């Protein structure tokens, strides 16, 4: 469920309440999103979870109503599930101890490149593909040189 408020007074307050004390430029709408999820085990619901989050957008009400903003949010989570989740789980990115300079950005870009190449090559799942390519370095080099095109 999504609630959207497009109130200039609220928009001005949202930014002014922060440490800078000024409204956020371009802020048009404030959103409250409530998600509910059922956790199932063996076909039975074992837990119900409810999460409330907030978001902001620079899209005016005439550009995006609540239904369209909900579509945008779902699209964002699609990106989250396709890229960030894979980086977190398959590459165990959260435990990486590289934290200085530009090295974290370089590693993130390298991981994204690996994911893109594997997907472009048509592998159905990232983790098994990486295990296969780790054991076949010549295939991995071919994949990189071909840009992931089979």
Share of the chain above pLDDT 70, in %: 95
Contacts 24+ apart (CB under 8 A), 5-10: 5/29, 5/30, 5/31, 5/32, 6/30, 6/60, 6/61
Q: What is the CA radius of gyration of the chain?
A: 21
Residue 27 pLDDT greater than 70, yes or no: yes
Share of the chain above pLDDT 90, in %: 55
Domain chopping of the chain, boundaries = 1-88, 90-150
Q: pTM for the complete prediction? A: 0.53
pLDDT of residue 19: 72
User: If you average pLDDT over residues 99-105, what whole number do you get?
Assistant: 93
Q: What is the pLDDT of residues 42-87, one digit of tens each?
A: 889 899 999 999 999 999 999 999 999 998 888 777 666 677 788 8
Q: What is the pLDDT of residues 30-39, one digit of tens each?
A: 999 998 888 8
pLDDT of residue 138: 95
- With residues binned 3-state (H G I as helix, E B as strand, rest as coil), the percentages for the chain, rounded to 5, are 50, 20, 30
Local confidence band at 131 (pLDDT 50, 70, 90 cut-offs): very high
């Amino acid at each position: 469920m999504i609630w959207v408020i497009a109130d200039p007074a609220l928009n001005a307050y949202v930014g002014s309440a922060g440490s800078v004390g000024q409204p956020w430029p371009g802020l048009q709408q404030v959103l409250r999103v409530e998600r509910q999820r059922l956790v199932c085990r063996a076909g039975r619901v074992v837990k119900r979870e409810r999460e409330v989050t907030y978001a902001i957008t620079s899209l005016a009400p005439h550009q995006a109503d609540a239904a369209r903003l909900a579509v945008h949010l779902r699209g964002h989570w699609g990106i989250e599930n396709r890229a960030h989740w894979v980086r977190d789980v398959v590459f165990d990115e959260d435990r990486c101890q590289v934290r200085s300079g530009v090295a974290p950005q370089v590693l993130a870009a390298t991981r994204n490149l690996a994911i893109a190449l594997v997907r472009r090559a048509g592998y159905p799942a990232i983790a098994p593909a990486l295990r296969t390519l780790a054991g076949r370095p010549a295939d991995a080099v071919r994949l990189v040189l071909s840009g992931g095109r089979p």
